Amino acid sequence: MKKLGKALFHHTSSLPLACFRIAFGIIMALQFAKFWQAFSLDYVNRSYFIKYDYFEWVQLPPEAWLSPIFIVLIGFSVLFVLGVWYRLAAFALFVGMSFCFFIEKSMYNNHYYLFILLSFLMIFVNGNAALAISKSAATNIPNWQILIIRLQLFILYFYGGIAKLNHDWLVSAQPVKIWLPDMLGTNYDGLSSEFLNFFAYFISYSGLLIDLSVGFLLLSKKWKWLAIVVLVIFHSSNMLMFSIGYFPLFGILSLVIFLEKDELSKLIPSILLSNKPTLSVYKSSTIIAFWFIVWLTVQALIPLRHWLLPGKVQWQMNGYLFSWFMKLNDSAPLLRFEVSLPNSDERFTFEMEKLSESPMQRNYIAAYPFVAVQFANDIETYLKEKNEIKGDIKIYCDSYVSLNGREFQRKLDPTVDLTALEFSKISKYLTRHEWITPLGNDTLVDKTVIYRLKKLQEKGL
């Protein structure tokens, strides 16, 4: 451990980390501005939010507070870029990003999760050791401070590739085939089916190879620039073909962390470069080595947890979040909740819009079985409070999902009262549940119900 600590504590130029600080701070400012707009136009009008387990206490503040909160967060992003009040600014970015993330579960996005991890790491490194309006700016920092950011990005790419090692992506080129009309736009109709099929597999396999290899290439002095060129093209293409926020721009700007001092100094005016002495911090290399190993071990194991959980991850969704499953699912849901009141065998359809007016939320409820259970319980609470109903209300879910171009399949057993299910927040993911229909089981498929649900969905019911 001591030898590893010494290697990690070897001093290196602070310039790559400083450039990353500036790039990351700019992205965070843009991201908070986007959140500000979304919260002000959409979230303030919502009465229902899907919450993460253990984070139910994170609540949307009063509307009058939203603008001041996001102005402060954007202000801290600017201070972060400038290197002023650096650790306070990094902490503010971490808290602000976490707050926006945990407000609404259906908004989950891998790059939001990545931004939380990176803003947390930036609290503990000396990102203001160069290119900063700071009296303590210095030329060098311990090597681990740059390596931890590089390896965090390595995990992003590599595990994104691991997640693509599945039947849909490799054999069926799905969901890429579904996305082709949006990716190609007006050119789609003029292309032959043979070319479209070839292009879908080309996108699938090139994306897989890039994800699996690019992290290793970025860490190699010999192949680094090839990886940089490939990633610039890759992220630029994603920026044009998909609407995925600021992640493609971040993917390009973040490449500065993989450059060395000599490469960066050619791009930066010499007047901005510091000649101050080495910064002396974190004297206990053993503690740093231990922290370094623990962090990376956790980050390496979390994305693999779904292998220990029952069911196909893309269907059951156990272990899907926080595992770098990026653009792997295209689900078309048909969803209806049926209510049986106390002392009655009759059922009526609950209008989901009474609780959730967000199509994104309804898609999320259809995709995640345990979120459907939570929504069923929320329906029961809503009905009891709204209509002062006493006794046990039973809620059933008629849920059909088409995953990556497959035929619609019933996802939940419609004969099970979801409000009667009991499980803890942890154990619910560890056991197989009979009320979740395994992928490929068509015994509960009813084409008449599918037709009826499609008609109700078309009418907005």
Helix (H) / strand (E) containing 334:
strand 331-340
Task: Return the amino acid letter for 28.
Answer: M
Residue 191, number of CB atoms within 10 A of its CB: 12
Alpha-carbon distance of 216 to 258, in angstroms, equals 11
Residue 265 has pLDDT above 90, yes or no: no
CA distances from 300 to 4, 138, 164, 203, 353 (A): 19, 32, 16, 26, 40
pLDDT of residue 6 exceeding 70, the answer is no
Q: Left, alpha or beta for 165 (phi > 0: left; psi -120 to 50: alpha)?
A: beta
| CA gap 278, 141 in Å, rounded | 7
Query: Helix, strand or coil for residue 324?
Result: coil
For residue range 115-155, what is the model confidence (pLDDT) as tens digits? 999 999 999 999 998 888 865 555 788 889 999 999 999 99
Q: DSSP labels for 123-190?
A: HHS-TTSSSSS-TT--SEEETHHHHHHHHHHHHHHHHHHHHT-SHHHHTS-TTHHHHHHHHHGGGGGG
Return the pLDDT at 183: 80
Q: What is the pLDDT of residue 73?
A: 98
The answer to whether residue 2 scores a pLDDT higher than 80 is: no
Q: Say what the pLDDT of residue 281 is.
A: 47
Q: Is the pLDDT of residue 367 over 50?
A: yes
> Is residue 51 pLDDT above 80, yes or no?
yes
Q: Which residues contact 130 (CB under 8 A, 6 or more apart)?
A: 13, 14, 15, 17, 18, 137, 138, 139, 273, 274
Tell me the pLDDT band of 282, cut-offs 50, 70 and 90: very low
Q: Per-domain residue ranges for the chain?
A: 2-308, 330-458
Region class of 324: left (phi > 0), else alpha (psi between -120 and 50), else beta: left
What's the average model confidence in pLDDT over 68-77? 97
Q: How far apart are CA 52 and CA 58, in angstroms?
A: 9
What pLDDT was estimated at residue 10? 76
Indicate the pTM of the whole model: 0.91
The residue-averaged pLDDT of 47-69 equals: 92
Above 50 in pLDDT, residue 19?
yes
Give strand pairing partners of 141.
12
What is the C-alpha to C-alpha distance for residues 23 and 25, in angstroms, rounded to an integer? 6
Instruction: Give the helix/strand (H/E) hosting 39.
Output: helix 15-41
- Please give the torsion angle defined by the CA atoms of residues 284, 285, 290 and 296, in that order, rounded to the nearest 10 degrees: 130
Which residue is associated with the tokens 């901005």?
272
Apex 46 CA angle, 41 and 47, nearest 5:
160
